Amino acid sequence: MSGFFGAPIESLCEISVTDIYFQHERGTYIALYALLLAGSNFLAPILAGFIADSWVGQDGNIEDFGLTSF
């Protein structure tokens, strides 16, 4: 079922680019979308590691650094 419902989501971005931009501009925006889609697989673990090192305290709880006002 997840493939049945997840497949349209993957194709909607490319179809939207072809609907929004002119034909001579499509290659640039499709390439940008593909770069960001593929690059997110490499950048997400780096960002998650930064968050884990910076925001997680010694006790394993997420520290708020005064961002919440309880």
What ranges do the domains of the chain cover? 2-55
Residue bearing the bigger pLDDT, 61 or 7: 7
Average pLDDT over residues 46-52: 82
Strand ranges (E), 1-70: none
To the nearest whole number, what is the mean pLDDT of the chain? Answer: 81
CB 26 within 8 A of CB 17: yes
Task: Write down the pTM of the prediction.
Answer: 0.59
- pLDDT interval class at 31 (50, 70, 90): very high
Average pLDDT over residues 33-60: 81
